[in-house]
Structure 1
Amino acid sequence: MRLNKKNIIITCSCIFFGIAAFGFKTQQDLPKDTSITFEQGETLTYVAGYSVFEAGEAVVHLDKKFHEVNGKNCYKVDVHGKSIGMFGMGMKIRDLWQSYFDPETILPVQFNRDILEGGYTLEEKIDFDQVNGKAKVEWKKKDNPEIHNEEYDMAPGSFDVISGYYLLRTLDYKQYSKGDTITMNTFWENKGYSFDIIYLGVEKCVTKFGRIESYVMSPIMPENQLFSGTHPIKFWVSKDVNRIPLKIQAELIVGAVNVDLVRYKGLKQKLKKSKK
């Protein structure tokens, strides 16, 4: 397999926002750690790279204010993504992803995307009806004024890809054993998916801020010719009051793609390096 500039950037994007599609399953009643809350104003910056080359940057920002959407008071998270370095010269990416979700359940109320990826553009809004299991999708291409309105079935209690990551930050991992599976339902574009994750326990994650004690997980991936190894994708979440994603690593047939936290601000506490 040859991994060119475009494929590397797309792979990095898929890893950062990736979901695994297997059809609907029964979502577990996931145990929550009620002591975990999010610090409004928190900003996390990640860089995705392949080998020694940086390919993309994503900035995740939790707004300082609550926002009323569809009659509900919501957190608002913006994710700005862009291609950088030599890869940015080969394919321009300027994406904005937004999620408005319930502060208590973390379930999304609305999800938006404003996409520019090379010659591909998209403006999309998804309104989630969690009670009736419906997703109302409005979308259009930037070079075409025609607006499309569609409605799809989804499993009640479904997440978008952003709120799903925030949900993982709130789980009570003391109730999980190494090898346990975490299942959540998600909705993406025009279809519902089931997202299965294996909990791999606690380990020290190597970051630019030092070795940080973390929970480590791996999404279950379908068989394919892109990834390599038993757990080809892993991600680490800090085992502290912040519960922030620190790193994502994907083992490809041709090498590893990494997404690393490079800057942060607005955390409850400064990240603490492990003593050993």
Structure 2
Amino acid sequence: MSQYDSGILVVVMERVPTFKVMKTFGLLLLSLVTTAQNTVDDKPVSKGEELQFKLTYGWFTVGRGSFKISDDYVLKDGKECIEINIHGKTAGLAGVFSKVDDRWGAIVDKETFLPHYSYRDLSEGDKDLDEKTYFDYDSMSILVESTSTSNPESNGTKYFELDGSSYFDMMGGLMFARSVDYRSMQKGDTIRLDAFFDEEFYDFKMIYHGIEKTKTKIGKIYCHKVVPIMEKNSVFKGKDPVKFWISADANRLPLKVAAKMNFGKAQVELTSYKNAKSGIDFK
């Protein structure tokens, strides 16, 4: 890396508000979810599935992440559930300027993907957060426990009421998105969803853009393209700034997220996978 490239990376990392950006990408994953569409009967859930991702800003690889489903089912309220764990951290020279080491996880129903429990253990530069969220469907409430040494005023327990809708967390939302029956949809269809994330309720909308052959890190393959409707904000730039691609096969792998942001272009891309449930068929 040249001195010029290093200088650009310093500027980019200094301008990126890590907690805000990580929250934003969490919301982007959630925006893939829809409660208004049918799901396939043969859901792409494979015990022991592992996915590896990388995050780039412009030319630079600044982070890597992993997504893993538990090797065995977990019983919760008498139902079989899967445990999901995500680990994301800075990579390469980016770690010198803004070190990120984040862990996210959840226990979700293996059929509906609705969450029973989720957590966030975040360490980003001089900021930290240890958060546990419990979903109680008998009392229709959510309990959130937060601990932070960098922001002690946020410590404590909070309660939120559910209004009867199906609210997803980030991990369950991503799995539900992979189960949507996209082939029953038409270009231009609008999809809506309800989600709970970072102590807030969200009502998302997105547009289905059909199937297209897309260049990805695991090959040039056919994908379902989805574009969320984004409200004007200080993070993203231009019209339709965010786009998603999900493999058009039975596994529905989350292949790529591309975003035009005010400080440059960012991408999250799948780089490898193993223990996928179905044989690979992207046609």
| TM-score of the superposed pair, with normalisation by structure 1 | 0.87
Q: How far off its partner does 1:99 sit?
A: 1.2
8 Å contact 2:12–2:263 — kept in the other structure? no
Q: Is 1:150 aligned to 2:149, yes or no?
A: no
**Match among 230, 239, 255 for residue 221 of structure 1:** 230
Q: Is 1:108 aligned to 2:115, yes or no?
A: yes
8 Å contact 1:15–1:248 — kept in the other structure? no
Q: Which amino acid aligns with 1:184?
A: L
Cross-structure match for 1:35: 42
Q: Is 1:210 aligned to 2:219, yes or no?
A: yes
Q: What is the total number of aligned residue pairs between the two structures? A: 269
Runs of 4+ in structure 1 displaced over 2 angstroms? 6-16, 18-21, 27-30, 68-73, 129-133, 153-156, 224-230, 252-255, 268-274
8 Å contact 2:44–2:277 — kept in the other structure? no
**Match among 90, 93, 96 for residue 86 of structure 1:** 93
Q: How far off its partner does 1:161 sit?
A: 1.3
SS at match of 1:13: helix
Whole-Å separation in 2 of the counterparts to 1:158 and 1:3: 38
8 Å contact 1:215–1:236 — kept in the other structure? yes
8 Å contact 1:219–1:233 — kept in the other structure? yes
* Worse-superposed segment, 52-61 or 224-233: 224-233
Q: Are the structure 2 counterparts of residues 263 and 37 from structure 1 closer, same or farther at C-alpha, using a change threshold of 3 Å?
A: closer
Whole-Å separation in 2 of the counterparts to 1:71 and 1:112: 21
Q: Which amino acid aligns with 1:260?
A: E
Q: How far off its partner does 1:192 sit?
A: 1.0
8 Å contact 1:130–1:158 — kept in the other structure? no
Q: Which amino acid aligns with 2:132?
A: K
Whole-Å separation in 2 of the counterparts to 1:157 and 1:33: 18
Map 1:88-237 to 2 at 5 A: 88-130=95-137, 132-142=139-149, 148-155=156-163, 156-237=165-246
Q: Which amino acid aligns with 1:148?
A: G
Whole-Å separation in 2 of the counterparts to 1:3 and 1:226: 16
Deviations 1:47-93 (A, max 9, x none): 00011101111100011111234554311000001011121111111
Structure in which a larger fraction of residues adopt helix? 2
Whole-Å separation in 2 of the counterparts to 1:63 and 1:235: 25
SS at match of 2:93: helix
| TM-score of the superposed pair, with normalisation by structure 2 | 0.85
8 Å contact 2:223–2:282 — kept in the other structure? no
Q: Which amino acid aligns with 1:241?
A: A
SS at match of 1:174: helix
Q: Which amino acid aligns with 2:177?
A: L
> Any unmatched runs of 5+ in structure 1?
22-26
Whole-Å separation in 1 of the counterparts to 2:98 and 2:77: 36
> Any unmatched runs of 5+ in structure 2?
1-9
CA RMSD of aligned residues (A): 2.7
* Worse-superposed segment, 90-99 or 245-254: 245-254
Map 1:37-56 to 2 at 5 A: 37-56=44-63
Whole-Å separation in 2 of the counterparts to 1:6 and 1:76: 35
**Match among 248, 256, 265 for residue 256 of structure 1:** 265
Q: How far off its partner does 1:196 sit?
A: 1.6
Whole-Å separation in 1 of the counterparts to 2:280 and 2:57: 26
Deviations 1:156-187 (A, max 9, x none): 31000111111110011122111111111111
Whole-Å separation in 1 of the counterparts to 2:57 and 2:224: 24
Whole-Å separation in 1 of the counterparts to 2:278 and 2:42: 14
